[in-house]
Amino acid sequence: MIFYSTENKNNTASLSEAVINGLADDKGLYMPEKIKKLPASFFENISNMSFQEMAFEVARNFFGEDIPEADLKEIVFDTLSFDTPLVKVTENIHSLELFHGPTLAFKDVGGRFMARILGYLLREEKENVNVLVATSGDTGSAVANGFYQVDGIKVFVLYPKGKVSNLQEKQFTTLGNNITALEIDGTFDDCQALVKEAFMDQDLKSRHKLTSANSINVARFLPQAFYYFNAWAQLSDEEKAKEVVVSVPSGNLGNITAGIIAQQMGLPIHRFIAANNENDVVYEYIQSGKYTPRKSVETIANAMDVGAPSNFARVLDLYQHDHGQICQILDGARYSDQQIRDIIKKVANTHQYICDPHGATGFASLESSLSKDQVGIFLETAHPAKFHETMEQILGEIEIPEKLKAFLDKEKKSISLSNQYQEFKELIDQQAY
């Protein structure tokens, strides 16, 4: 498979180059040269397939030309050692629970897949690599745990000081070994900017092999398409006959971009909703046709605290920068912190279901927009207990799963940095392979 840059379709790369380099040298994001439709027989048999089996068929479309079938199957099956169940919340709204993996967040799928495929490609290339990843919470824990103790790979996790939950922070600052946590005095956008600048720094890259594990990397965002197929497979035949609307809590837009690609592969999703918190640049674009990135603001749905979503470039590319086309498939919604708190209370009291602050935006956007002949799915992207302090303020005591408790007593190990690039570059020079 050939991958091209969103900045210049003539700037292409192989799978290995796209995954190992992360970002194109013209600052563009890599996109697959073609998105193949899956055959009708796939959808006819999908309800009889395991999550791993259907994911393998999807993965073959993007990675099968470059990775032998047996190796790719092992990567996919090893990645998906957990399920993503669809849970009915109301008569026509379901929650796709993406928090049953090792770090209890949806990014376990992309993080684990990328760790395995990068490890595979590096064995072929016979070289060491440094992974740079910016996080507003769950990406850091999923990537750090996915790459933990993988030979030949060092991971540097950049996160905004004081802007991730205590449990999220513990999941990637307590590992040590090949994982280095960098606490940046700034916002997620500052962390993301440092990573992007490093990729453009030819001086730094002449000394160190760098790649990214953010959703800018094709090996991180493409496998997120897997669970959209799994969600649809779990619907009843009666529900499959209706229009299916999927609401995605949206920050850096990698998740919803993967969903759109699943739709282009033939998955019968009628439309998507990008649910925003007060960082609403996507909502504003849908309403006005104007994209105005800006500094992010801190909210209780911190994984969506993104003011300049990287994957917006991919959405524009998929629809040839045509606002009208984008609006045919994508709606938007936005919610304040107080609205999110109210939604969590309402869903818990009325439907006996606990949403995390991100999933709450997805639920609300469906509840306010679905018609009677439609069925809705919202992505519950992380276990509510990962936002323990916020959830207890809203609902009172909330149980913490044993997987999360295991991190609480461990010692935090992080390095504090300003948001100035030169300081970050000096640290990479000192510690990277």
Q: Which residues are identified as catalytic?
A: 107
Please check whether residue 293 is in contact with residue 308, taking contact to mean a CB–CB distance below 8 angstroms.
Answer: yes
Distances, alpha carbon 146 to alpha carbons 124, 179, 383, in Å: 20, 11, 18
Distances, alpha carbon 135 to alpha carbons 39, 63, 194, 367, 403, in Å: 37, 26, 12, 30, 20
Residue with tokens 């003539």: 10
Quote the tokens at residue 84: 């993503």
> Three-state SS across the chain?
CCEEECCEEEEEECHHHHHHHCCCCCCCCEEECCCCCCCHHHHHHHHHCCHHHHHHHHHHHHHCCCCCHHHHHHHHHHHCCCCCCEEECCCCEEEEECCCCCCCECHHHHHHHHHHHHHHHHHHHCCCEEEEEECCCHHHHHHHHHHCCCCCEEEEEEEECCCCCHHHHHHHHCCCCCEEEEEECCCHHHHHHHHHHHHHCHHHHCCCCEEECCCCCHHHHHHHHHHHHHHHHCCCHHHHCCEEEEEEECCCCHHHHHHHHHHHCCCCCCEEEEEECCCCHHHHHHHHCCCCCCCCCCCCCHHHCCCCCCCHHHHHHHCCCCHHHHHHHEEEEECCHHHHHHHHHHHHHHHCCCCCHHHHHHHHHHHCCCCCCEEEEEEECECHHHHHHHHHHHHCCCCCCHHHHHHHCCCCCCEEECCCHHHHHHHHHHHCC
